[in-house]
Amino acid sequence: PNTPSEYYIPEIINDEWQLKSNQIIVDGDEILGEGAFGVVHKGYIRMVDETEIEVAIKMLKGNSSVEEIKQFEHEIEIMKSVGSHPHLVSLIGCCTKMGHLGPFLVVEYCAKGSLLSYLRAVWEQLAGQPSESRYINTPCFAENNHTENNFSNKLYLLGDDIILDPQDLLSFARQIALGMEYLSGLRVVHRDLALRNVLMCENKIVKVADFGLSRDVYQDNVYLKTGTGKLPIKWMALESLSHQQYTTQSDVWSYGVVLWEIVTLGGNPYATISPRDMLSILRSGYRMECPKNCSLELYAIMRQCWRDSAKERPTFHDLKLMIEELLESDN
């Protein structure tokens, strides 16, 4: 039940992460993302030497429930305990006071936004127009399979002058596996690993974000409302759908869907299947097909991630090694 937040007085943890409000400059005009109970703003942090660094500031909306505030505080605590890793979006500071801004969370700014929107932009450049189904026109891993189109092996992102090639796609997959290997080593389960939660920085560096459970529903159409909140059904492992079990091995299942999203340049998984039918369809043994232009080797990795039995799926360490092997053989 939603209790109004005015009755909730959060604990103020005065540690080195606590920021003072005069250190923070929120760019009120620049909203990076807006979800059901939170907003992500672009902002700046003023350092002691008066320099300013770009940051992303995640804050709750005014009408949040106690449950939402508690979840948010939980996310902050998880981020504090995780520390920094090159492939995880790291915490810069926070404010747990209920001020006119607080509580809020300050994380590093990833200039290119989510990898999902980035790859969809690449796809649109290629195809000339948006489409719900992005199975085709993905010229990755083109040597060893049935290419329908004669694209060159490089993808050009016009306007930005960035060239993206098949190696880059594998490199994204590797970087995500590295971040997840670290997170799983700390026994933190992500629960919402999906391309929309992978952010991109300069130099084709990608980082896993939103690992504190307080997921917000920035893309309403992919989360299905259930008794316990909204769930990203099409990224969820069988045991998460059937028994609400979330483990590192269910994150591995989601990683398999992420691989599929990368290869299809931001395709919609199980596009023709209703979220309500997902459990029975997966139980019947159905899995997504090999996307056109995806190598059989990479598809075999996805299929291992989607094994019924959680313990038979690879670990993130195994996945990192498998992707590295593909990267080497592609050279």
Answer yes or no: 161 catalytic.
no
What 3-state class would DSSP assign to 269? coil
Nearer to ligand ACK, 109 or 135 (CB): 109
Stretch that binds ligand ACK, among 75-83, 104-112, 183-191, 289-297 (CB under 6 A): 104-112
For ligand ACK, which residue of 23, 25, 27, 33 counts as binding (CB under 6 A)?
33
The region that residue 39 occupies, defined by phi over 0 for left and psi between -120 and 50 for alpha, beta otherwise, is beta
Q: Please tell me whether 52 is known to bind a ligand.
A: no
Stretch that binds ligand ACK, among 106-114, 176-184, 289-297, 308-316 (CB under 6 A): 106-114
| Closest CB to ligand ACK among residues 115, 155 | 115
How big is the CA angle at 84 (ends 257 and 216), to the nearest 5 degrees? Answer: 50
Q: Which stretch binds ligand ACK (CB under 6 A): 13-21, 109-117, 148-156, 263-271?
A: 109-117
CA distance 213 to 196: 15
The minimum distance between CB 130 and ligand ACK, in angstroms, equals: 15
Indicate the DSSP class of residue 141: T
**Which residue in the set 106, 140, 180, 199 belongs to the binding site for ligand ACK (CB under 6 A)?**
199
Spatial distance between the Cα atoms of 107 and 58, rounded to a whole number of angstroms: 8
Is 127 annotated as belonging to a binding site?
no
Place of tokens 């492992």: 237
The distance of closest approach from Cβ of residue 265 to ligand ACK in the complex, given in angstroms and rounded to an integer, is: 14
107 binds ligand ACK, rule: CB under 6 A:
yes
Q: What are phi and psi of 38, to 5 degrees?
A: -145, 170
Helix (H) or strand (E) holding 42: strand 38-46
65 binds ligand ACK (CB under 6 A): no
26 is in an annotated binding site: no
Binders in 214-243 for ligand ACK, by CB under 6 A: 218
d(CA 248, CA 30): 35
Q: For the chain, how big is the Rg over CA atoms in Å?
A: 20
Instruction: With beta carbons less than 8 A apart as the criterion, state whether 120 and 129 touch.
Output: no
157 belongs to the binding site for ligand ACK (CB under 6 A): no
Name the 3-class secondary structure at 21: helix
Kind of pairing between the strands at 162-164 and 155-157: antiparallel
198 in contact with ligand ACK (CB under 6 A): no
Cβ-based nearer residue to ligand ACK, 38 or 275: 38
Residue 56 engages ligand ACK in binding (rule: CB under 6 A): yes
Q: Is 205 in the site for ligand ACK (CB under 6 A)?
A: no
In a 13 Å sphere around the CA of 143, the CA atoms on its Cβ side amount to 7
Asked if 155 interacts with ligand ACK (CB under 6 A), we say: no
Size of the site for ligand ACK (CB under 6 A): 14
Tokens 């801004």 sit at which residue?
101
Closest to ligand ACK by CB, 32 vs 222, is 32
What would the 3-class secondary structure string for 86-124 be? CCECCEEEEECCCCCCCCEEEEECCCCCEHHHHHHHHHH
Residues constituting the chain: 331
258 is in an annotated binding site: no
Query: Which part of the chain contacts ligand ACK (CB under 6 A), choosing from 44-52, 103-111, 285-293, 298-306?
Result: 103-111
Binding-site entries: 33-40, 58, 196-197, 210
Residues with catalytic roles: 192
Q: Which residues bind ligand ACK (CB under 6 A)?
A: 32-33, 40, 56, 89, 107, 109-110, 113-114, 117, 199, 209, 218
